[in-house]
Amino acid sequence: MGVKSKIVIGNWKMNGSAELVESFTRTMLDNQAAYAGIRVVLCPPFTLLQAMADALEGGPILLGAQNVSEFEQGAHTGEISAPMLASMGTKMVIIGHSERRASRGENDRIIAAKVKQALSVGMLPVLCVGETAEEKARGDSGAVVWQQLSVVLHAIGSELFGQLIVAYEPIWAIGSGSTASTDDILTITTAIHAKLAQLGIQLPLLYGGSVNAGNAAQISSLPTISGLLVGGASLQAGQFLLLCSNT
């Protein structure tokens, strides 16, 4: 999947229902002019993937997942593999979200294995990186984010470097109602682009953390930003549509 245009990814987290899939996708598909030229991806919980795949079939919105197993198959009760997701038409998968790093014990090794699994079936991994409030206060944001990203780059090998999307999501901004300042987003993402350039890599960088219809235009217009990863504001179709049209 090409990522030349801006991209907006909706992460429903552990929310939603069959009814929401139905009404949400109907509103989105009835108003395609609002996101013409933008790649929109919807990531519902696993149990709603098939309903979402059916509802989106043949339309411009892509299906994404919120997580994938680090294993390909076998005795891993409760896990969902990359081939399983791909077989449902999932084109993209969020990996290393801070909520999973913090509460499900996902470390850089596990995250790198998940990225490799996604790539092995041609799904685009959206690797989430970001610092805590304490790390930011210590002035360590850039170092923390680069450490999270470089572990994955080393693990996947240079031939796959170009097949990754990175979402810069300051942990303190997620679900808090406060975004990072545009100056801070610009500083961190400029530094990431510069380090990647030293390795001969160019990757799309998204921003996530309390994005809404009101701030989407300002953040997405930053020259270092290729799009937005949206949590809370992706649960209400009217708001999400407005957010997309402002991107």
Residues binding ligand PEP (CB under 6 A): 11, 13, 97, 169, 174-175, 208-211, 229-233
Dmax of the chain from CA atoms? Answer: 48
Active site residue 169: yes
Rounded Cα distance between 176 and 164, Å, is 27
Q: How far is the CB of 107 from ligand PEP (least distance, A)?
A: 19
User: Which 8-state DSSP code applies to residue 77?
Assistant: T
For ligand PEP, the closer of residues 14 and 75 by Cβ is: 14
Of all residues in the shown chain, the one whose CB is closest to ligand PEP is 231
CA distances from 182 to 61, 153, 168, 178, 246 (A): 28, 26, 12, 12, 16
Q: How far is the CB of 228 from ligand PEP (least distance, A)?
A: 8
**Is residue 14 classed exposed, middle or buried when 0-12, 13-18 and 19+ CB atoms within 10 A define those classes?**
exposed
Cβ-proximal residues to 33 (8 Å cutoff; 6+ apart), any chain: none
Q: Which of 19, 106, 169, 193 is catalytic?
A: 169
Q: How far is the CB of 196 from ligand PEP (least distance, A)?
A: 21
For ligand PEP, the closer of residues 72 and 132 by Cβ is: 132
Q: Binding site membership for substrate: which residues?
A: 11-13, 175, 210, 231-232
* Active-site residue set: 97, 169
